Each structure stands twice: as C-alpha cells, then as structure tokens.
Structure 1
Amino acid sequence: MLTFAYPHFLWGLLALAGPILLHLLNRTRPRRLIFPSIRFLQLSPLPREGRRRLRDIPLLLCRMALFAAIVLALARPQWVPKRRPVDGSALQQAIVLLDSSASLHWQGAAEKSRNIALSALTSHIQDGWQTGLTTYSRDLLAEYPPGSSLQALQTALAEWEPTLSAGRPEQALSQCLAAFNPGAKRKKLLLISDFQSSDWALQELTLERDIELEFLPLDSLQPDNVGILSVQCTPLAGNKQRVLVLCRNYSPTAQQRLLSVRLGQQSQSNALQLEGGQSQRAAFVFELQEDSAGPGWAGLSHDIFPPDDEYYFWAGAEQPVKVLLITPDDGGSLSEDEVFFVSKALSAEKDGLPGRFTWERLGAASLFAADLQSCQIIFLLGSAERLSQDSWEKLTAFLANGGAIFHTPGQSPALGWHALREYGLSRSQYQGMLGKSSHDSSLGLSWVAPDSPLGQIFIPESSDLFLFPIRSHARLQAHPTERILLQTLDGLPALLEIASGNGRLYSFAFAFNLSWSDFPLSQSFLPLLRELCADAVPPQHGRKRIACGTPVPKLYRLDGSEILPVSPIDSSRPGAFLLGDCPVEINLDAREALPETVKTADLQRFLQRDREMPASHSATALAGSQSGERPLWQYCLFLMALLILLEAVLTTTADARKGKGG
C-alpha cells in the first residue's frame, strides 16, 4: 500500500488552484495608440468578447503537474507491502536480550538481572505475548525463539550465569531482529544490561521501524573497586626474578588493599594505599627455583567486583626472538664466516642471562616454501641476488606485517640492490664498489646518527666502531626517504634504515666477513647487531596476552605446521599456559571493570534513528532492508525535472505565438 513519510505536505495540493487563477488573470490587454487624425473622436466602449476563458491549456496542465510533483516529493511517498497477522490473529512477540558479560559480576548484579528478566517474561506471557530469550557475551550464548514455554524460559534463567568475557551485543541484536515474525502485529525488544560504555560502543546498527524498544537497566553502582591491570615478569642477574604488578583504583576515594603474589611455592604480600582514580605499581623479587618457571598468580583482597582481583602470568624466560639466517646454497667459506659471526652475536649472554635470540639457517632456494609467521627477524647474508620472485613476495609481506630484515651484499652486489629496488623494498642507488678485497687497503667509519639507538651506545672516544678497517664496501646513494645510520670516511652511507609497511629493512654496505672488513672482530659488532635486533622486536613479543573468551592465537613452525598445546586451552577462564615455547596469559578484559555507562536515551536514539529519517535512508538497517519497502520520492524528482524542461519549451512556444499575433 502507498504511505507517506510526511503526509502533512499533501495539504499543499490544495494550492493547485493557483496556476488556474494566474492563467485567468493573465489576459492580453490591447495596446493604446494615439494618432493625430483620430484624436478628436469621442471614446466609446468596446463590445464584450464574451466570458473570460482559460488559454494555453497544455502549459497550464504542465505547471499544475509540476506543482503536484513538488508536493509529492516533499511528502516522501513509499510503497509498503501490506502485512497480515499470522492466521488472522493479532500476533504479539517479545524477546528479552540478557547481557552475560563479565561486568555483570558486580555483587548482586547477576541476581538482579535474573529477576528482571523473569518478571518481564512472566508479565508478557500473561498478557498474551509470545516471548523469547537471548543471552550473549562476546558471542551469542543461547537463543529461545518467541513462543517458547514459560517453564523452558524459567529453567534457562535458573541455569544462567554471567561469563568472564567482554560483551559484544551486535551479533545478538541482529539475531533477535531475524527471530521476529514479519507478520506480527507488535514486536518488542527488551534489553537487560548494565549498559557499560565499553560494551555498547555500537557502530552500524539500526532497528526496524515497527520494533518497540524497552530498556531495563540495572541500578547504577558506584563500587569501591580496585583491580589489577597487568603483571610483568623480568629475569634478573643472580638467578632472581622481578614481578611488577600494576593496580588501579576505580573509586573516587582512597582505598587500601592487600596485594599477594604467588610464584611456585613462594609467596609475598604487600599492603597498598591507592588514591582515588590513580594507578600504582608494586615490585616483588623472587629467587628462581625449579618450580618458579611456570604459571604465577597475583591477587588483591576481594571487593565488590572479584574478577579483576586476580591476574595470572607466566614466570621464567620469555619466548626467545626467532631469527632466520638466509644464505646462498653454494656460499662457501665466506658465507660460513658470516653465519658464524652473526650466530655468536645472537647467542651471547647479557648480564648473566641466557640469550634472547634463537636462530635457524635456511638456504636461499628453500625460502619460497618456508612459513615466516614464526620469525621476527631475517638476515639476508649475501643471498639477496639468489632469491626467486616467490621468495621476494614472502619477504615483502613479512615486512608489511612488522618484521625486520638485515641485508648484506654478496658476490653480486649489483644484482642484490637491483632486486631490492625491483620489489619496492629500497630506493637507494648502487654505484659500484670502493676499495679492494684484500688486506692492503683500508677505509673506515666516521659518523653515527646521534638520534638513533646506535648513537646512544657508541661514543667516539670510548668505542672502536670508528677504528676497524674496511677493505671494501658498496658505493650507495640513499634516497631522501631512507635514513642513514652509519657513514664512511668519504661521507657515503654504510648502513641504511628503510621503512617498509609496518617493518624495517637494514641494508649494510659491507658483508660480515673478513674479506670485506674487520668489523666482526671488533668489540662494536655484538652491541651494534643486538641493539638493532632488540629495537626491531615488537613490544609485546615474548608472550601472548589475551582476554577471556578470545580465541587462542595459532602459532606455526618454519615448515608451516601448527604448534599444538600439550592439553586443550580453555580461554573462557583466566590462566597461564605454554603453547610450544610461547607463554599464553588469559585474564579479564580490564575494560569490564570501568564504571562508565551509556545513557539509554542516547542508545535508543541511535538504534531507532531510522524513524527520524526518510525511508530512503534506511538502507543501513539490518533487517529492514528485506522488508519490501520501496521509496517513490525519487521518481517524483525525476518527473519534476522532466516537467521543468517541458514547461520551458511550452512557455517559449506560447511567447513566440503571442509575438507574431501582436
């Protein structure tokens, strides 16, 4: 049937009489001419021509149609299929959407939610409504369609408990919209939640126009809550370990709590005094024992919101950074020297602690089949000119995802830098070689970028970085977008840092073997290489931290096979586990402890904003797009444009005819 979004504009059709009146008043008047020969004649009235009648009928009809098209366009007509109640009865359906996120663990909030839901279901069933129930947290948990029995709904509510996952209501809302019968006379959606702002930050979601929305919020709570935000475990020299716990006071008033940390059989406690709305760190030092390398626990004395009073972490050495050394398949002794020096630098201990890096070696011809997801750093040791197109595509994707690549020239430096330019990893120009591959001539370094990580650790007066001889190096011309970290005595780039995607490429002008320089034998080789590698490691590397309810990330080996846990990991509960050699920490999403909530009036205005828009703007509605509504006002605009053109043509024709008649 035909409906109008703004039917009051239809009163404007009464103004169609305007063009008729204008045409009746617009008659041709005779021109008065004075001639000398007739100026003495007496005036006499002209005979009447008859009744006044309409002229230019086609032009009049065109203008009336144009005015009617304007009025209809303003009224916004739309075609809505007529919906009939199922079986000819007035069907009424209601669905209760129950929030089951972790924020419902406030003391007494779960029981209040259960009572509100039970009361809403019972009252609607008694009033003749078909009722249903949907529960959600991060995902859709349970769904009882409209028409379910009261006993089934009561049983579901009796067994219902809030989860420890964050809330995402978008999927549940979409499922509720799809569960309504299109032919129902009345459709109502009842939302039971604490409406926490972090959960209800909706993006694109609109309800149908015929769905009633009712909010049943819980009472506003102002708890004196203190929670644990994070725990960092760092190995120390002397067989010790430091545990740093970050706590936050969500209350506006000062709070006192007892913080306890348990690591293996050891346990320590500390009393905390936290000011209102402030965060505070507490440090604990433990002796490393056999049972210390494993899951640890930190906890606060319980308050009104228990889930954020405990935090699980993994103690012991973090997952080492995996480094892949790519060498030519027939590199010979020079390639073996590079692998030897680089592997020794990566495996060295620091401050009595085991090495942070582990390395694997792979031939250039086998790189195309390797899975680089398990690596964080790749060394191209004289192998850039040996790589295939598939291998370069893998390296490009590796850099785009945040990896780091170290490149040194090989036996054909020109081909190596040409490949870097061809695949968009570098824009520097290779201009030949300087020096000879012998022990007779020598060059050297003269400058290090002071604002780089290297400039902070290498002081010219106390470092041999500028003392070792360089026998041969590539002559490079850096692009303005590339950063120079090291320069030679001639002012040429010796080390370039190039940003590529989310990762970085470090390109050296000389190789790491003694035929090019004595750099691998200098005392600067190890700190320079390790500092660059440490700077390239992502901040969150070493352990995976996920929120409760989040899927456990998948880890892969170099051959592409997935690393599986010893026993299945349940991410719905807090805990600390080991996946391969990578610790996985599962804890409550800290945003679930935030006391801020959204205003239900603002949320209702957002969800039902389609009611305030013309029908043509409801294309973003999730379920309304399939309702069969067809906006017609665009056709009125098209007709109006045609009538304007036709009116111009008819007006020109009428004016020309009158001009000839005059």
Structure 2
Amino acid sequence: MAIAGPVLFHLIRRNTKEKFSFSSLMFLRADPPRVTRKSRLEDILLLIIRCTLLAVMALAFSRPFFRNTVIDANDPSAGQRVVLLLDTSASMQRAGLWKKGLDQAQATFDELKPTDSLAILAFDSQTTPLLRFDQWHELPEPNRLTAAKETLKSVQPGWGGSHLGNAIITATELLEETDHAGLKKIVVITDSQEGSQLEGLQGHEWSEGVQLTLKSIEPESVGNAGLQLKPLQEMNDQKTQPVRVTNSEDANTEEFQLAWLKPGQKTSTNSVAIYVPAGQSRAI
C-alpha cells in the first residue's frame, strides 16, 4: 500500500484552475466546470525515487518481525568447550595442595557430558598444553575421560612462579580458534597465591561468551614464601647473584635457609640463614 500511494496520487481527479471574469452573465448558460483526468504518469524518475524511499522505510520498520535464524551463543545441544587450567607453580608443592588440585580436576571431569570438549593446560611461569581439543576429538568417546586422567598423572608442580594472567589469555585464544555455538568455559584450579601475576590481563579485551570459573584451594598450613633472582644483565658483578626473599602476610615462619643446589643434588652444605618478617621482603 505504501508503494501504491504515489501512483494513486498521480491518477486522482484534478479540477480546472483557470478563471475568467465577465461584466455580465445574462447571455451565458450555466454549465459545471470541466475536470480532467491524468491519462499518463508524469515525472517517472521522481515517482520511482519516492516509491523506493517508502519501500526502504517499510522494510526498516518491519525488521523486528522477521524470524531470527541466528543460533544461540549458548546452545545447550552444541555442548560445552572447556579449558582446564591447572596451577603447577612452586606454591602447589605445599602440603596437601597438589592432591586437592587433582581432586578438583576430577570433579571437573565428572561434570562433563558426552557432547562436551576438553583441553588441559598446566601453568607456572609458562603455559604448557597437556591435552588439546583436536586430541580429545580423535579419541573414542569411552576413552576420553580416561586419557584426561592419565594426562594429569604425569604432571607434578615445579619451581616456577605463577603467571595466571598469561595462562588465561592463552586459554581464551584456544577457545576462539574455532566457531562454537555452545558455552565456552575456562576452569582455573589454583591456590591463588599472593605472588600470582595478573599483569597479562591488563588491556586485554575479554571475549564475549567466555565464562571463567575459579576453583581456589586452601593449604593445610598458612604461609608462603618466594624468591626472585635479579636478571644477570642488571648486575655489575657477574660472580654474585642477588636474591630477594618475600614472605606472605599470613606466614607463621620468619627464618629461612637459602642454598644453591646443582641438578640432581639433594642436599647442600653452603646454606645461608635469612630472617624475613611476615609481609616483608629481604635481599641478600
């Protein structure tokens, strides 16, 4: 109807506008004015432009009534795409922490459905892939969870720091490698130590549709200490190595023994005692 309107206006009756004045009408016969009809369309280009504009306006107002065929970003039938981040930094060597971390990983496995996909990453100062999505899909479905459990048996916490920020970014990039209609999820298992570095997340734009779940585990005893080596390029004397020891605020131990161990060496005879109050740091 909107497009037909301009055409109908071109075809309506048009009254004669010419008027003449006479001094006397006594010799004239009364006769109604003649009307004319448009027998053809004029200004065709202008008519087409008007019809086009009206069609665009009608289309714009009708958009909300169109059926939405876009697949929901969290379509349950598509299954979840899960990345498990397991902390293997030095602080995870504290009594009971590693076992609790493995128990949390097992609980995550138990929540998976046959349609879900899983990738496992271990992180300390670096992020190491243990199980990729393509490896998961190459395995027969009955063997997938067993393979995930066996993967964790070969992992132990090391002596590295905790760069959680970089690990989360790596997991996000892994989830975005392929389009997925289901839920994208990152599960982080960590002791949330005070020295965990999150600088990598600064300025990082969080991806839409990615859910982050933090499973924090608590140690059996409070307190944690860490050390930091000064980079060699910043030292004037290359024969010595300055070390900064940092003690956590909840620590109940303030005296430590610092020693150098060569690869394969279990004990040392050249240890140095250092006193660091809770919440402070000392350099030697």
- The alpha carbon displacement at 1:69 in A equals 4.8
Scaled by the length of structure 2, the TM-score of the pair is 0.55
User: Is the 1:97–1:135 Cα contact (8 Å) retained in structure 2?
Assistant: yes
- CA deviations 1:98-121 (Å, max 9, x no partner) are 213445845566445433433333
Q: Unmatched 5+ residue regions in structure 2?
A: 261-267
2:110 pairs with 1:115: no
AA of the residue aligned to 1:218: K
The answer for the alignment partner of 1:227 in structure 2 is: 226
- The alpha carbon displacement at 1:68 in A equals 4.2
Change in Cα spacing, 1:96 to 1:260, as seen in structure 2 (3 Å) is: same
1:63 to 50, 59, 75: 50
Paired with 1:273 and 1:224, the residues of 2 have a C-alpha distance of: 11
The answer for the alignment partner of 2:147 in structure 1 is: 152
Q: Output aligned runs, 1:124-139, within 5 Å.
A: 124-125=112-113, 128-137=114-123, 138-139=126-127
User: Is the 1:260–1:269 Cα contact (8 Å) retained in structure 2?
Assistant: yes
2:273 pairs with 1:269: yes
User: Is the 2:247–2:277 Cα contact (8 Å) retained in structure 1?
Assistant: no
- The alpha carbon displacement at 1:124 in A equals 2.7
1:215 to 209, 212, 215: 212
The answer for the alignment partner of 1:639 in structure 2 is: none
- The alpha carbon displacement at 1:149 in A equals 2.6
2:22 to 20, 38, 48: 38
- CA deviations 1:185-218 (Å, max 9, x no partner) are x5443311159633545747857xxxx6443211
The answer for the alignment partner of 1:281 in structure 2 is: 282
User: Is the 2:97–2:218 Cα contact (8 Å) retained in structure 1?
Assistant: no
- CA deviations 1:166-191 (Å, max 9, x no partner) are 4544555444555x6x7x8x544331
- The alpha carbon displacement at 1:152 in A equals 1.9
- SS in structure 2 of the partner of residue 115 of structure 1: helix
Q: Output aligned runs, 1:186-205, within 5 Å.
A: 187-193=182-188, 197-201=198-202, 203=204
Change in Cα spacing, 1:254 to 1:61, as seen in structure 2 (3 Å) is: same
Paired with 2:218 and 2:244, the residues of 1 have a C-alpha distance of: 24
Paired with 1:39 and 1:160, the residues of 2 have a C-alpha distance of: 117
User: Is the 1:139–1:172 Cα contact (8 Å) retained in structure 2?
Assistant: no
Change in Cα spacing, 1:47 to 1:162, as seen in structure 2 (3 Å) is: farther
Paired with 2:115 and 2:9, the residues of 1 have a C-alpha distance of: 63
- CA deviations 1:599-634 (Å, max 9, x no partner) are xxxxxxxxxxxxxxxxxxxxxxxxxxxxxxxxxxxx
- The alpha carbon displacement at 1:40 in A equals 5.7
The answer for the alignment partner of 1:359 in structure 2 is: none
Q: Output aligned runs, 1:358-437, within 5 Å.
A: none
- SS in structure 1 of the partner of residue 111 of structure 2: helix
2:95 pairs with 1:97: no
User: Is the 1:255–1:273 Cα contact (8 Å) retained in structure 2?
Assistant: no
Q: Output aligned runs, 1:505-544, within 5 Å.
A: none
- The alpha carbon displacement at 1:94 in A equals 3.8
Q: Unmatched 5+ residue regions in structure 1?
A: 1-15, 83-89, 236-240, 284-662
The answer for the alignment partner of 2:264 in structure 1 is: none
Paired with 1:227 and 1:32, the residues of 2 have a C-alpha distance of: 99
Change in Cα spacing, 1:227 to 1:157, as seen in structure 2 (3 Å) is: closer
Aligned residues: 236
AA of the residue aligned to 1:156: T
- The alpha carbon displacement at 1:129 in A equals 1.9
Q: Output aligned runs, 1:243-392, within 5 Å.
A: 245-249=243-247, 251=249, 257-262=254-259, 265-274=269-278, 276=279, 279-283=280-284
Change in Cα spacing, 1:130 to 1:242, as seen in structure 2 (3 Å) is: closer
Scaled by the length of structure 1, the TM-score of the pair is 0.28
- SS in structure 1 of the partner of residue 150 of structure 2: helix
Change in Cα spacing, 1:243 to 1:157, as seen in structure 2 (3 Å) is: closer
Paired with 2:80 and 2:9, the residues of 1 have a C-alpha distance of: 62
- SS in structure 2 of the partner of residue 129 of structure 1: coil
- The alpha carbon displacement at 1:93 in A equals 4.5
Change in Cα spacing, 1:63 to 1:53, as seen in structure 2 (3 Å) is: same
Computed over aligned residues only, the root mean square deviation of the Cα atoms, in angstroms, reads 5.1
User: Is the 1:121–1:131 Cα contact (8 Å) retained in structure 2?
Assistant: no
